[in-house]
Amino acid sequence: MKHFLDINRLSVEDIQLLIEKALLFKREGNFPKYESQIVAQLFYENSTRTRVSFELAAKQLGMKVINLDVNHSSESKGELIEDTLAAMGIHFFVIRHHQNYMQEDLAKTLSAYDIHIVNAGDGTHAHPSQAILDLMTIMEDKPNLRDLKIAIVGNIKHSRVANSFQNISAKMGVGELVLVAPKIWQPEQIHYGRVTSDLEEGIRDADVIISLRVQNERLVASEQLDMSRYRGQFALTEGTLKLAKADAIVMHPGPLNRGIEIDSSVADGPHSRILTQVQNGVFVRMAILDSLVR
């Protein structure tokens, strides 16, 4: 693997190996060291979890990390990497960008360079490291993916998390995937699963519920919803959670809008695996960097 760009570029075996490696790192707690390797983080969009977990992952592997203040750079992404950072001997570029396919385009432009590009989220298109950490978190509780009903609830249309999760579910054989969203937040095309605007039907007897953040910054005027109405119809509360299986787990990629898409009593309750997702995020990103360096 030269770059880490999209779930669709990974084989079933690649995904299994990444999850096995992340589980091994989590279990054993001793890690290989790659002290000569340098990682640059270029985040053109806000991030807390992804940025910090890639930084922690790199440091746990003995790598050096540079966080670039990209929003104040006068150079384009290509120039910045090609003329400056690659020449300085930086090996990894962990990039988040608002433009779909930006990292894939950059990987093509810079194909002659001996560098690794890691997609930390591009627009509404993909968030592949999130999909792997989500699957790892599910498999720790419920390893038989073919037997599961998984529901994702929220703004599916604008969610790179939902996109990448559909792709990983298709690839790894999740039994049933239900995408629950109000009509105006339903995508025109889906990659896997089925769509409904009926929360009760969508989460009934679910094994896993993934709640998504209401992304106000991505909504155009025609997609605006009254938040108290959205909450009334789609929020994950202790009441709606009762529709799922008794041992269902609840996940959320963060950041959470508590009291809108999810109640604190659910986010902090016994079914929640939200903190496990954050913890697993570091191990999955270690596995990604480790697989690229080899």
How many angstroms from the chain centroid is the CA of residue 259? 22
Task: Give the separation between CA 157 and CA 159, rounded to whole angstroms.
Answer: 6
For residue 211, which of 249, 173, 245 has the smallest C-alpha distance? Answer: 249
What residue type is assigned to position 144 of the chain? N
For residue 230, which of 271, 269, 195, 180 has the smallest C-alpha distance? Answer: 180
Contact between 218 and ligand CP by CB under 6 A: the answer reads no
Candidate residues 47, 215, 233, 276; the one interacting with ligand CP per rule CB under 6 A: 47
Q: Are 286 and 31 in contact (CB under 8 A)?
A: yes
Instruction: Write the DSSP symbol of residue 152.
Output: E
**Shortest CB 118 distance to ligand CP, Å:** 13
Contact between 48 and ligand CP by CB under 6 A: the answer reads yes
Instruction: Write the DSSP symbol of residue 223.
Output: G
Q: Are 4 and 285 in contact (CB under 8 A)?
A: no
**Shortest CB 109 distance to ligand CP, Å:** 25
In terms of CB distance, is 106 or 212 closer to ligand CP? 212
**Shortest CB 130 distance to ligand CP, Å:** 5
**Shortest CB 47 distance to ligand CP, Å:** 3
Q: Which of residues 90-149 bind ligand CP (CB under 6 A)?
A: 121, 127, 130
Which range binds ligand CP by CB under 6 A, 15-23, 33-41, 45-53, 100-108? Answer: 45-53
- Class of residue 74 by CB neighbours under 10 A (exposed 0-12, middle 13-18, buried 19+): exposed
Contact between 254 and ligand CP by CB under 6 A: the answer reads yes
The SS3 assignment for 178 reads: strand
In terms of CB distance, is 175 or 255 closer to ligand CP? 255
**Shortest CB 44 distance to ligand CP, Å:** 12
**Shortest CB 90 distance to ligand CP, Å:** 21
Q: Which of residues 49-78 bind ligand CP (CB under 6 A)?
A: 49-50
Residues at the interface with ligand CP (CB under 6 A): 47-50, 121, 127, 130, 253-255
